[in-house]
Structure 1
Amino acid sequence: MFLRRAFIEKILRTVPDVGKIFLLIKAKDKKAAIDRLKIEILDSELFKCLEQMYGESFEDFMIRKLVPVVGNVCESNLGMDPCTANEIAKKVDVIINSAANTTFDERYDVALNTNTRGPSRLLGFAKRCKKLDLFLHISTAYVNGERQGLIMEKPFHMGQTIAERSATSKTPPVSIPVLDIIAEIELASDLKLCAHENDVAQKMKELGLQRAKTFGWQDTYVFTKAMGEMLVNSQRGNIPVVIIRPTIVESTYKEPCLGWIQGNRMLNLVIISYDKGQLTGFIGDSKTIIEMVPIDMVVNASIAAIAKHGIAAKPGLNVYHVGSSTVNPITFKDLVKFCYDHFTSSPLMDSKGKNIHITEFKYFSSMDSFSSYISDELAQRSALTDATVLDTKLRGQLEMKSKKKAELILHMAQLYWL
């Protein structure tokens, strides 16, 4: 919903003469879909600029343009009723797919259903759309794996893996298994049938990470997104397709307002934990370039691609990376310094209304040193809790909360070691 909101806002603000925008919304019925549309879009802070433009007619304008459709990319026929699907197929010119499960260590079956099979299902519907000029699929730059240097905007082909590159460069060459997407889907399905109900969620997460690493990707999210690209490329036929690969998508730079963001994005957990004084260091090289991009730049690049390739409407596949490191790089150290400077001059306040003072950030070069640091921090906080909280039950709850947060931070560090 994060990226979709920004797309909708930009289109309605800059191209008010656009016809209908059909929004596939996961809901139990039409009323529930309308309610979600109102809460998540019409009432969103992001649309205040549009609301100011249209005044009292804002809601009427939005309702005329936006059509909520009950559906789900995780279901056959996109979960749409046949009549609605037929109506949309007659009218739609451009399809934008931004649906994704972005959890790095999601259950393998869940990630496959959304990130791999979802685009394939939507492309199947696209083939029914007689007026379709373009199919635009939002992927991620991290489908390219953990590579250095200039990375070209090349599509993935069926069965292509990241591990192939490193395997062939070794002496002697290392043999790797062949990537078969159907076999991966069946593997997840078999595990779901065989695993004990209490164990299936954890085993699915472990399977996703294990399969990703087998083929050279760092986590389940980017692996399943890469397989989604493969299916789009192999099944597109004569449909003009554009794949947009943004890096870490963060808050708006300018449009429609400065700094809008929805929820906690990828880097936010580390930043917020630091700003609250809960985390004073993290694993990583201070010189590492953090590849991120404002969401309005992703939307602008996508709309430019739609304009270029939608007008031509020629069969083919075009890939675009949308990032910042080439023209405006920011290092891990720079990011931390900006946070330190800001929250030193404008500190957050704790629950008692007192300013939270943050310390200089520490960088750790290995998981061992970082784990030791987390253990020491946990022990110090536990001792402080024991000394200041007399209620035994509350003390236990606070210690358990701290322990879970420490486990989450260590897990994050293992997933995206900078």
Structure 2
Amino acid sequence: MGILSISHSTNLLSKIIKIPQNNDWYIPTRRKTRTNVVVFSHQGGGGNVIKSSNLSSVLTERSSSLVSSDHAATTLMDAGNLVLSQNGKNQTDIVVKDIVPYGGPTTTTTLIGLDDGIGIVKFLRGKKFFVTGSTGFLAKVLIEKILRTEPDVGKMYLLIKAKNKQAAMERLQNEIINTELFRCLRQIHGKSYQAFMLSKLVPIVGDICETNLGLDEELYDIIADEVDVIVNSAANTTFDERYDTAININTRGPCRLMAIAKKCKKLKLFLHVSTAYVNGQRQGRIMERPFSIGDCIAREKLIPGVPPKYLPTLDIENEINMILKNKGNIEDNLLAQKMKEMGLERARRYGWQDTYVFTKAMGEMMIDKLREDIPVVVIRPSVIESTLNEPFPGWMEGNRMMDPIVLCYGKGQLTGFLVDPNGVLDVVPADMVVNATLAAMAKHGTTQKRDINVYQIASSVVNPLVFQDLTRLLYEHYTSSPCIDSKGNPIQVPIMKLFSSSEEFSGHLWRDAIQKTGLTAMASSNGKMSQKIENICRKSVEQAKYLAKIYEPYTFYGGRFVINLFSYSSITEGNLDATGKVVVM
């Protein structure tokens, strides 16, 4: 999914993520039962697993099931106890040991082991990686964590789009090695930092959109002979991207990469980074399950009064052929807009919100179709935002997803938005996504079972952030830490108004624009200037309305992503020790 940056303020981030501030917030302990289950009971006041004071009731009302899994366990909440019971699947049992209360920075470091540890460091040692999308936000956090966790990892071949080797090396230096994200590694290695990084990171000139990824024969053979793990993090994340562009990267790209995976002699795992929102317009509790070729969410919904035979059937090959046919019949000056419109129309026809998540879902389908006996893990994070802890709090890059709305609000340019006040914004910090990714990588890269496993990394069930709570947090933040205008004065912002209808939101935008520009007063004194300002206001209002329309499927999203116990343990407890066990600091 896209990226959300609320602020680089650790204080605000801790409020949004709802970090426990004392031992009374979430203190699970283990006690024995007669049956083969593990029961955790809350030791603080009230007997609930999650303390919900000062938070929306949605937190408790929508969390009747905290975590569940198609892989390991189904979770039931009953009278203050969290009971984990087997679901009958033939998967490795996951037993969580020695869970201790969060005690702040003075607490003695304690281990949370998954049996004898996940074995992440052991798995990483000596392994060689091939990473696409390596200069992207999440991939860089993953690369940094791997190098910091296990410096004895093998080489990491990074696919970089560039015209030649020199240009690829420049991008490696400018966009990875010399960035702020890697400052901890820079401090660890000191003067040998550059040498260390260049001994591990190998830029590979290529393009996910080209046959054989644009690799020359020598590089292709090196990848095929040496690589243990393939990580596909390449994606086009623009919601309303041209259909031809999005399908080429998000759907056909994984196909090209899978073709190379089949040539790899030592491959232990194919890990694909997707998004939780590939679940499209599914509603309610959404479980972790892979897509199969031809799956269509519109058919799942079974529209009342419409016989199944009249519902659309998704054929990916037909979609690709339709694009090629239409491109030949559209004039060049209209092509870009027509391709954008086609992407949104096809996505909504089949039950997805937009072109981005639709083409990502089709990419997952193609991976499942082509994988044969290759072990596959699909990581589905929700909205990825800035780091919570590692390598340091608040690191962020780019300006996507909700960023424009948050920034415009802080600058006083947007005082309301189209959103369900009781809806949930599903956000997860980048380092938590990476923790879960490494845990899944080690688990399935070690067992190498010839199957496909899906992990949703999300917060809407276990720790939902309700929009009306978010507006309060943003108001408090910008009140205490306001943006500064061009004259050096702090910008005062009102609490953001939330509108549930497009008509109300549109009316608010016009009233707000007129008030800020003094358009009514100018109308009588200077007609020419008034017309110019009115045109500016109209353009601003239309831009805000378009933004709201694009975001509407997410700001009114009715799905809640259930995550399994394995992912939950990996992302909530943070760091890893030298044996790959999760460490609570």
Fold in common (TM above 0.5): yes
**Structure 1 residue 396, shift from structure 2 partner:** 8.9
Aligned to 2:492: 357
Letter in 2 for 1:176: L
2:261 pairs, out of 119, 122, 126, with: 126
1:298 match: 433
Give, in angstroms, the shift of residue 282 of structure 1: 0.4
Corresponding residue for residue 250 of structure 1: 385
Aligned length: 416
More strand per residue = 2
Is the deviation greater in 400-409 or in 254-263? 400-409
Matched, 1:9 2:144: yes
Q: CA deviation at 1:407?
A: 2.7
Displacement of 1:333: 1.1
Counterpart Cα distance in 2 of 1:290 and 1:345 = 23
Q: Which amino acid aligns with 2:339?
A: M
1:250/1:265 contact within 8 Å kept: no
Deviations 1:7-54 (A, max 9, x none): 110000001100100000000000000000000001111001110111
Query: Is 1:191–1:200's contact at 8 Å kept on the other side of the alignment?
Result: no
Q: Distance in 2 between matches of 1:394 and 1:196?
A: 38
Gaps of 5+ in 1: none
The alignment's TM-score, normalised by the length of structure 2, stands at 0.68
Residue identity (%): 53
**Match among 305, 315, 318 for residue 171 of structure 1:** 305
Q: Report the counterpart of residue 96 of structure 1 in structure 2.
A: 231
1:193 corresponds, among 302, 315, 328, to: 328
Deviation at 1:398, TM superposition (A): 7.6
Q: Does 1:115 align with 2:250?
A: yes
Equivalent pair of 2:422/2:466 in contact (CA under 8 Å) = yes
Equivalent residue in structure 2 for 1:320, among 430, 455, 474: 455
Equivalence for 1:35 = 170
Contact 1:127 1:239 in 2 (8 A): yes
Shift of 1:393: 12
- Residue ranges of structure 2 left out of the alignment (5+ in a row): 1-135, 556-585
2:424/2:467 contact within 8 Å kept: yes
* More contact order relative to length (CA 8 Å, sep ≥ 6): 2
Instruction: Kindly name which structure, 1 or 2, has the bigger radius of gyration based on alpha carbons.
Output: 2
Amino acid at match of 1:170: P
Aligned to 2:241: 106
Aligned partner letter, 2:352: W
1:412 aligns to what? Answer: 547
Asked if 1:210 is matched to 2:345, the reply is: yes
Offset of 1:406 from its aligned partner?
3.2
Report what 2:203 is aligned to.
68
Q: Which amino acid aligns with 1:333?
A: Q
Deviates more, 1:81-90 or 1:59-68: 81-90
Counterpart position of 2:184? 49
Instruction: Give me the CA root mean square deviation.
Output: 2.2
- Aligned counterparts of 1:3 and 1:409: Cα–Cα separation in 2: 28
Residues 385 and 399 in structure 1, CA contact (< 8 A), matched pair in contact too: no
After TM superposition, give the deviation of residue 336 of structure 1 in Å: 1.3
- TM-aligned CA distance change 1:386 to 1:231, over 3 Å: farther
* Cα distance, 1:150 vs structure 2: 1.7
- Is 1:80–2:215 an aligned residue pair? yes
Q: For 1:393 and 1:48, how far apart are their aligned partners in 2?
A: 54
Structure 2: distance between partners of 1:145 and 1:259: 29
Amino acid in structure 2 at the alignment position of 1:243:
V
Tell me how far apart the structure 1 counterparts of residues 398 and 434 of structure 2 sit (CA, whole Å): 18
**Structure 1 match to 2:31:** none
Contact 1:244/1:319 (<8 A) preserved: yes
Distance 1:333 1:105 in 2: 27
**DSSP 3-state at the match of 1:321:** strand
* Distance in 2 of aligned mates of 1:34 and 1:397: 48
The C-alpha deviation readout for 1:263-308, integer Å capped at 9, x for no partner, is 1121111111111100000011211111111111111111101100
TM-score (norm 1): 0.95
The answer to whether the 8 A contact 2:383-2:427 is kept is: yes
SS where residue 137 of structure 1 aligns?
strand
SS of 2:405 mapped into structure 1: helix
